[in-house]
Amino acid sequence: MSIKMIVQGATQLRSSGAMLVAGLVVGASALCGANAWAADAASDATATAAATTPAAGAPRILVLATGGTISGTADPRSAIGYNSGNVKGQELVRGVPGIEKLATINAEQISNVGSQDMSDKIWFQLARRIQEVFDRNEADGVVITHGTDTVEETAFFLQNVLRSDKPVVLVGSMRPGGSTSADGPGNLYEAVEVAASPKSRGRGVMVVMNDQIHGPRWITKTNTTAVQAFASPNAGVIGYVDPASVRFVTAPPQAARNVLGLPANGQLPRVEIVYAHSNMDGLQIDHAIADGAKGIVLAGEGDGDASKEALAALERAAKKGIIVVRSTRVMSGFVNRNVEVDDDKSGFVVSLDLNPQKARLLTQLLIANGVTDPARVQQAFTGTW
């Protein structure tokens, strides 16, 4: 072998070695780079989880969905048309940005109806599930998504039957999801915020709508379609909420609530509301008697008044053992005893500040619990004052 051939072989060997070393270096660099990228990705994922997951020991909130506009979707039949109860509770929660930072949230579907179809059956399901959750310490608070038409009745019902100092917050919306100004996501965020707040402990049932917190005894719907549709005419709101704060302007109730039991048959007794008007006779009241009503609530004129014929029919009802409660169709004010009507003589009960729909509910619950003497019924209506 010539010296020239030996030199060429050595040169090729050095070149191959250099390529091998270079390949090893590149491979190592690529491996290190991949590990570094994976570490960065893991770090980002951890940071994201930390930013979207509540801290250890965060409040546990159970969302119970019942339907309503808040779970509705737009319908092309009109510019503001919609169908209630199309979206499930879990979807509602997932659609609210940042809500997962407030609490550990679980959602269950109780029903999916417009609140005009709210029923005793759904009420009893709600009450029993909430009581079960609190008795087993499965949640620190409950939020109920609900239609606005009867949310005040559901809230008042629950306030009278639940035994717990943990908060229950009802929430709805006036505009459905998909509309240009849907208020549901913001309302639901604030409802969870209120339910998760330590300030809410001992306040029982509340309704959160449009940055306001209302008590169930006083809240009523005051507008058919406006976002600001609720007010508490005789007492005012009990607090305010925004995404950054919960502020109560009233002290928690000091007196223990008189909790009423649920009837074993799963139904509340029949109590009718009769609406007073000019030129009124007693036919509606006589029909209620014939239909087997156990109670009659008068949505009276002014301070719960009605025509002579209507009052005479109500006296006939009272003599048959039917509970007669005088309320008013007027939005604010109290119905007091023995003003224009001799309630003592007629055997009537007055509703004080309770509107007809809430007076009906309390009368139903009292009858279901065996309270039928007019004096005792009146005491129950007066109990919080």
Q: What is the pLDDT of residues 166-202, one digit of tens each?
A: 999 999 999 888 777 889 999 999 999 999 999 999 9
Q: What is the pLDDT of residues 303-334, one digit of tens each?
A: 999 999 999 999 999 999 999 999 999 999 99
Q: What is the pLDDT of residues 342-372, one digit of tens each?
A: 999 999 999 999 999 999 999 999 999 999 9
Q: Is residue 23 part of a domain?
A: no
Catalytic residue (one of 148, 154, 220, 328): 148
Q: Is residue 45 part of a domain?
A: no
CA distance 218 to 254: 17
Identify whether residues 138 and 238 lie together within a single domain: yes
How many secondary structure helices (H) and strands (E) does the chain include?
10, 16
Q: Is residue 150 part of a domain?
A: yes
Please give the tally of structural domains in the chain: 2
Closest CA to 329 of 346, 351, 347: 351
Q: Is residue 366 part of a domain?
A: yes
Identify whether residues 93 and 172 lie together within a single domain: yes
332 is in an annotated binding site: no
Identify whether residues 77 and 216 lie together within a single domain: yes
pLDDT value at position 74?
A: 57
Identify whether residues 280 and 220 lie together within a single domain: no
Identify whether residues 278 and 237 lie together within a single domain: no
Q: Is residue 346 part of a domain?
A: yes
Query: Which of 49-58, 98-107, 112-121, 207-216 shows the lowest per-residue confidence on average (mean pLDDT)?
Result: 49-58
Q: Is 52 among the catalytic positions?
A: no
Q: What is the mean predicted confidence (pLDDT) over 47-62?
A: 66
Identify whether residues 92 and 128 lie together within a single domain: yes
What is the CA angle 201-202-205, rounded to 5? 95
115 is in an annotated binding site: yes
Total count of residues recorded for the chain: 385
What CATH code is carried by the domain that includes residue 342? 3.40.50.40
Provide the residue range defining the domain that includes 277.
Answer: 271-382
CA distance 154 to 194: 18
Confidence of residue 50 (pLDDT cuts 50, 70, 90): very low
Q: Is 73 among the catalytic positions?
A: no
Find tokens 């509910």 and name the residue: 361
* Strand stretches in the chain, DSSP E: 60-67, 73-74, 82-83, 104-113, 141-145, 168-171, 205-209, 212-214, 220-221, 230-231, 239-242, 245-248, 271-275, 295-300, 323-328, 349-350
pTM of the model: 0.83
Identify whether residues 85 and 211 lie together within a single domain: yes
For residue 33, pLDDT beyond 60: no
Catalytic residue (one of 66, 69, 145, 150): 69
Confidence of residue 37 (pLDDT cuts 50, 70, 90): very low
List for the chain the helix, strand, coil content (%; round to 5). Answer: 40, 20, 40
